[in-house]
Amino acid sequence: MTRYDLAGRTVALTGSTGGLGIALANALRERGGNLALLDLDAEAAQVQAEKLGGDTVARGWGVDVRDLAGLQTAMHEAAAHFGRLDVAVAGAGIDTMAPLATIDPAAYERVIDINLNGVWRTFRAALPHIEAQRGYLLAISSMAAFVHSPLQISYTASKAGVWAMCDSLRLEVRHLGVGVGSAHPTFFRTPMMDDVTADPAGHALWGGNSKGLWKMVPLEKVIAGIVRGIERRADRVVVPRSLTLTANAPGLFRPVLERVGFRPQTVQRALGLASASGWHDPAVHERHQAGSR
């Protein structure tokens, strides 16, 4: 497959100041890409742009992925500023750690609105510009699209929905020369994952993600996989690639993963520790309303 050279192309990235967003922006800039950095925190996005080389190669916009009109304006301005828009990466995302029976409905709906509807809005806003360049759309999903853990109903539903959305959209735009992909990394260290491991329910469920089935992979490995996926205009990116078989056959492996990874006593303990707001720490709860990883 011919490599999709990023040098001189423009990439729009939502959730740009989160842990994944910062690392991905750095990697894309290293490959010569121009960056439209879209984040809820406009000031942080502009500071990030300055660090990456300033206005000619990177510029920040304050954008809420729950606001379609705002996204459309930002994408239009980015395309005008850089002269083109070739790739859009929907990277904004949040999480909660609470069961269906007790989760605050607003916390559940916020995850769906940012993680799933936010991808739809990002793609809708970017598509006219991406189509003009016969470019590529990528959504950051998760291995949670295939492995459905308890206490993360909103998260797993949103990530599985993103996967399905990308598969459907790919069929709609392939005649336009537009590629569509979804990225499915396993656990990796970001501020969001720090919140999960620090939360009593999250720690009880995942054991700190330091070993065994749920052990984290290095952030650098995740970024390398995502960038490689963009350069291949891949339909699906799985990180690490050793989990590709699991991703390809979720129905086959799910019963085994659930039996080994989510033992009844572990789930019950996590249920007892979960907060109805989605997080015990009010500061963490506030941070996850912002939509960055």
Catalytic residues: 155
Cα(239)–Cα(173) distance, integer angstroms:
25
Task: Look at phi and psi of residue 205 and say left if phi exceeds 0, alpha if psi is from -120 to 50, else beta.
Answer: alpha
Place of tokens 């991905």: 24
- What are the C-alpha distances in Å from 68 to residues 56, 73, 85, 99, 240? 26, 9, 17, 30, 33
Q: 67 burial class (0-12, 13-18, 19+ CB within 10 angstroms)?
A: middle
31 touches 55 (CB < 8 A): no
Closest CA to 213 of 177, 175, 262: 262
* Cα dist from 182 to 13, 34, 158, 217, whole Å: 14, 21, 13, 19
Token couple for 95:
């999480």
Strand order in the sheet with 136-140: 58-62, 34-39, 10-14, 87-90, 136-140, 179-185, 236-239
Report residue 254 as tokens.
Answer: 């799910």
Half-sphere exposure of 59 (CA within 13 A, CB side): 14
What is each CA distance from 187 to 17, 89, 206, 244, in whole angstroms? 19, 19, 10, 15
Please give the Cα distance from 169 to 115 (Å, whole number).
Answer: 17
